[in-house]
Amino acid sequence: MYPQQELNRLADRKAALRRDIAFRRAQCAEAAARVARPLEWLDRMLAFWRQLSPLAQFAAVPLGLLVQRTVFPRLKILRTLVRWSPLVFAALRLVGRAAAFSAGRLGKTSPTSRN
């Protein structure tokens, strides 16, 4: 049916393809393990956080801010962000609503939108 030489060449090619696939599979596994390390750390931290009682979780936030203030006394960006974030979010929400309202209003009265 097929000459033996062609069958041998196909077998060699198949073996080479299998080696390439195994090599690339190992590379992908290594890259996935490297990517998963921070996720694994985050998962462990979330599991630890869930094991804490609700009272301890409630106390952890002020304690964390106190530690942040003592370790980084000049770094006040977190405090500033927490203080101004409600105002910024309200302003962004207001701007978004105004833009949506004006876009809807312009879309209804615009002469180019009539067909």
pLDDT along the chain (115 residues), means of 10: 87 97 96 90 86 76 77 69 81 87 64 50
Both tokens assigned to 2: 């097929």
Residue-level pLDDT at 115: 46
Both tokens assigned to 9: 């060449």
**Three-state DSSP class for residue 94:** helix
E strands, 1-111, in order: none
Residue-level pLDDT at 15: 97
Residue 69, judged by CB atoms within 10 A of its CB (0-12, 13-18, 19+), counts as: middle
Sign of torsion, CA 81 86 88 92? positive
Task: Write out the DSSP string of 26-94.
Answer: HHHHHHHHHHHHHHHHHHHHHHHHHHS-HHHHHHHHHHHHHHHHHHSTT--HHHHHHHHHHHHHHHHHH
Q: For the full predicted model, state whether its pTM sits above 0.85.
A: no
